[in-house]
Amino acid sequence: MNEQLIDFLRERTAESAAGTTALRNQGEKGVIHNARKFLRGLELYKFAECTTEGLFSALLDEKTKALQESFPPAARNWGAARKVLNLYLRDVLYSRYLCKHFDFHHLEKWLEVPLDSFAAKGIQFDYRPQTLVNFPGIKHLTQEVNQAYQEAAAAIASSRGYARVHLDILYWRDIGQKGKKSE
């Protein structure tokens, strides 16, 4: 694949992942710009080199912290950084060209569901009768709460025969929820 086309696809994917919908109400001007700049420069091959879930998780934590630090001071929340990073990595997986170029196929099973209020609501509903702590919103999301939701998401997705990253499609605006009326 042409390297210039790969660069264009990475830029387009970063623009989409770090959009106004994903980062609304996160605190300060510059969040979207900084997130997009960070994602465009992310060394995707480092993720592809991960051979275990532990290595992948450590790198994801490292890059989440780095993205968080790139945000303007009043907007440095961990939840927004993790959500945007997860959206970007998911979209790299979903792009056949980027997935193939960066050898992301083996990462599917480790990718997290990008958490937001829609995903949290769906996970809470589908995880019953177990209970999760109330979702605090992206601004106040912590690593511990994220981990609890990711573990629940993994259990839900596994019971359905796919990876947790795909639950975002199911839960986004309740599109995949039972009883949702077709429009």
Q: How high is the pLDDT of residue 176?
A: 59
- E strands present in 18-139: none
Containing 173, the helix (H) or strand (E) segment is none
Q: Packing angle between helix 78-94 and helix 31-41, nearest 10 degrees?
A: 50
Rg of the chain on CA atoms, in Å:
16
Query: CA–CA separation, 128 vs 30, rounded Å?
Result: 39
* pTM recorded for the entire structure: 0.91
Walk along the chain (183 residues) and give the pLDDT tens digit of each residue: 699 999 999 999 999 988 777 777 666 788 898 999 999 999 999 999 999 999 999 999 999 999 999 999 988 999 999 999 999 999 999 999 999 999 999 999 999 999 999 999 999 999 988 889 999 999 999 999 999 999 999 999 999 999 999 999 899 866 655 544 444
Q: Which of 123, 50, 138, 125 is nearest to 86 (CA)?
A: 138
C-alpha to C-alpha distance for 79 and 140, rounded to whole angstroms: 7
Please tell me the predicted confidence (pLDDT) of residue 31. 87
Q: With contact defined as beta carbons under 8 Å apart, do 7 and 101 qualify?
A: no
State the Cα–Cα distance between residues 110 and 136, nearest whole angstrom: 24
Round to whole Å and give the CA distance between 13 and 149: 25
Nearest Cα neighbor of 23 from 9, 8, 38, 43 is 38
